[in-house]
Amino acid sequence: MTSSSKNSQLGQPFAEALLTACDREPIHRPDAIQPYGLLLIADASTLTVLGGAGDLETRLSAEWLGCSLNDLLGLTAERFHDFTPASFSDARISGLQDETFSILVHSSDGKLLVELEPIQEARLLTWEIFGRIDATADRFERCPDVAEVCRQGAKVFSRLTGFDRVMVYRFQEDGSGCVLGEHRNEVFPSLMNHHFPASDIPRQARALYLRNRICVIPTIHYEAAVIRPAEAGLSGIDLSDVQLRSISPIHLQYMANMGVAASASISLVVDGVLWGMITCHNATPRILSEDIRAACRTLAGVMSRQLRNKEELVTYQERLRLRNATEFATSHFDAAASVENNLRNFASELRSLFPCDGFAVIGKQDVTACGLTPATSDLIAIRDWLRLGSNGGIFCSSSLGKDYPPAENWPELSAGIIAITLPFRSPLTLIWSRVEIVQVIEWAGNPHKGTPDQDGILHPRKSFASWQQTVRGHSHRWNAEQKQAARRLRRILIADYQTHQLRELNATLTATVQERESLLQQKDFLIREVNHRVQNSLQMVASFLKLQARTSTNEETTQALSEAQHRIAAIGLVHRRLYRGDHVGVVDLSRYLEELMKELCSSLGKAWEQQLRMFLVPVTLSADRAINVGLVLTELVINASKYAYHGAAGPLHITLSETGDRLTLTVSDQGRHDIDLNGSGFGTRMIKAVVNSLSGTLTYTPLHPGLEAVMSVPLATHPSDGHDQHPDGLYS
């Protein structure tokens, strides 16, 4: 099908296009369409036709320019203002040459693009289409893998389209493609398993294939119908969604060089990514009817879903295998051994985790290797090189010589590695190594792009005969699942290392705690032993004093010995209370004073028990300070007995209270005192010295009758205060 345009403004643009920058060619803005259809361009708000392409005067209306779309096509304006891709599926437009057009409407740059395509005689009925879809889906589902889906897909689309050759073409990671499925007749040679360079389908073309899932070229031998009139200013309008969009002259020449006269391309999209294409070639012009294109679009979606399912199944199985292999290897680790020792001891098991030719554990100086690996010095050099990089602890390469040039010297030992760097106290590196695989790739012609001729025009390659390329320095690729498994293994090993470190730390802490507890037990035993001896000594001294008091004939001496006995008893009582419980070093002052007064009353006479009144608040105090408080209380009670009641029993009130950070001891009687409070006797000097050692105060208040003594001391003193010492005043 060819058509000439009377108003062509470009002369012969496509025959003489400069093909020097095909990768940047704006193929979505060709300013022309294929002439088997018509294109109208209208203002989106007014619906006024501003321009068009194709033989509109002969096939649609002589007065098309400036008309309203709804008047020109006989459709209501509302359908154009609120349309969806399916809004015009039932619309049919009658032409001037007994043609009936289907209509597609798109929006671009504030314009409405209306495609009119002549309707071909339907080859398939609706029930046939659904039947084929169901049968094809069942066939794809029974395929064991991706390769078989591609082979079956080529057969299905060959029967559906009737093209001479149908290929299922998959894109590789580097952008090149490989034919995985093919069905053909004898017109074209086979391209099965042949590769095509990424430049054959440039980046912008792939974007269009992702946007428009089917592209049809009924014939490559056409004269493009340019958009007109030129003065409408429609040059450069985006035709990405227009199925009639004219094809790049580079691609048309490319197809001509292959001997192809007509083609159709159907996109295979998996998870929003252009997975591959179904490419249909015919040696003579051939158009696909609307019903066949609809069936192709639907079946391509079915095939894409099955491709995803097969790949996900393979991915799941590989992940499961890797997880089981990882758990099997690490489950045999000796919990008592270090992670490094486990890695070295189970090197063979770890090697089998990934398909490889060798495995190595590289420490600071030692290397444990099994299988085919580089020399020890080379492994250590790789380890040092890996530590310089910022790869997150995982490095993967299937062409090690490109990443690490020294590896170019020994591809037969290692051409690809996957490495794990472990940040231990003494870092470790694990390397799985694969040797070089010499590959012979069958290309459909020389994959290298052509060079400009003497006029600077770049031509697509002309030969598609098998062209072999030998690829060296590469190993088998590491797939995404293997990389993920390496990351998971690294996390497991780091966790095991941290657990082992914690276990060792806990063992050290446990041993330290046990040693400390043993030392504390020994200390406690020694303290109790010393206290026992001190207690015995105090009892012996008290017994001697009591014996001397009984045998003394001097009343003053007897009284002095009795007072000394009471003082010794006060000290001894603290020792008994201090080491009777578990809180060595502190005592409950209230209980201590209560027991002290019971012993003192017993010594002074039973009558004192009836006269004594005590109100003691529980206060915890260190043992040495409690002894001093007990000595002061003993001395004050002796003074009350001696000077207030002259040896007889009398009312005596003792209170112990706590206010803030101080405690207050009050002793009051109701007797008549003839004591000199400023005297220089031993008792007076001792009280002053003890109160001073406690950093406290002692005040006397006459009660008439009686006397009240109030001692106020801090609950504790800092060592720097210098007060918590022996009462030096006793020895001055």
Rg of the chain over all Cα atoms, to the nearest angstrom? 52
Cα–Cα distance between 654 and 664 in angstroms, integer? Answer: 10
The verdict on residue 174 lying in a domain is no
Domain encompassing residue 408: 336-433+478-511
The verdict on residue 388 lying in a domain is yes
Q: Which amino acid is at 274?
A: L
370-391 b/e (C-beta count within 10 Å ≥ 16 → b): eeebbeeebbbebbeebeeeee
Q: Strand 165-171 to strand 273-282: parallel, antiparallel, or no bridges (unpaired)?
A: antiparallel
Asked whether the whole model's pTM tops 0.85, one would answer no
Q: Is 629 helix (H, G, I), strand (E, B) or coil?
A: helix
Q: Which of 469, 491, 511 is the last residue of a domain?
A: 511
Phi, psi of 453 (to 5 degrees): -85, -170
Q: Is 275 helix (H, G, I), strand (E, B) or coil?
A: strand
Q: Give every CB contact of residue 325 below 8 A, 6+ residues apart in sequence.
A: 352, 353
At residue 175, the pLDDT reads 82
438-469 b/e (C-beta count within 10 Å ≥ 16 → b): eeeeebbbebeeeeeeeeeebebbeebeebee
The verdict on residue 422 lying in a domain is yes
What is the residue whose two structure tokens read 């002969």? Answer: 58
723 shares its domain with 608? yes
588 shares its domain with 705? yes
Contact 656, 636 (CB under 8 A): no
492 shares its domain with 408? yes
SS (H, E, C) 280-330: EEECCCCCCCHHHHHHHHHHHHHHHHHHHHHHHHHHHHHHHHHHHHHHHHH
Q: Strand 697-702 to strand 662-669: parallel, antiparallel, or no bridges (unpaired)?
A: unpaired
592 shares its domain with 504? no
588 shares its domain with 699? yes
Contact 80, 112 (CB under 8 A): yes
What is the residue whose two structure tokens read 């600071």? Answer: 364
505 shares its domain with 399? yes
Contact 444, 196 (CB under 8 A): yes
The verdict on residue 155 lying in a domain is no
Phi, psi of 119 (to 5 degrees): -80, 125
611 shares its domain with 703? yes
At residue 666, the pLDDT reads 96
Minimal CA–CA distance to 380: which of 426, 431, 434? 431
The verdict on residue 220 lying in a domain is no
Domain total for the chain?
Answer: 2
Q: Is 92 helix (H, G, I), strand (E, B) or coil?
A: coil
Ranges of the chain with pLDDT below 70: 1-24, 85-87, 122-129, 438-471, 527-540, 542, 544-545, 549, 563, 566-567, 569-585, 674-677, 679-680, 717-732
Q: Which of 462, 486, 511 is the last residue of a domain?
A: 511
The verdict on residue 544 lying in a domain is no
Q: What is the DSSP string of 365-418?
A: S-EEEEES---HHHHHHHHHHHHHS-STTEEEES-HHHHSGGGGG-TTT-SEEE
What percentage of the chain's residues is helix, strand, coil (to nearest 5)? 40, 20, 35
CATH classification at residue 342: 3.30.450.270
Contact 273, 68 (CB under 8 A): no
The verdict on residue 344 lying in a domain is yes
CATH classification at residue 653: 3.30.565.10
Phi, psi of 721 (to 5 degrees): -70, -30
Contact 256, 220 (CB under 8 A): yes
587 shares its domain with 487? no
Contact 559, 515 (CB under 8 A): no
Question: Side-chain half-sphere of 207: how many Cα atoms within 13 Å?
Answer: 11
What is the residue whose two structure tokens read 């409070």? Answer: 677
Burial degree of 699 (CB within 10 A; 0-12, 13-18, 19+): exposed
The verdict on residue 503 lying in a domain is yes
Minimal CA–CA distance to 112: which of 35, 191, 34, 52? 52
At residue 6, the pLDDT reads 34
500 shares its domain with 632? no
366 shares its domain with 507? yes
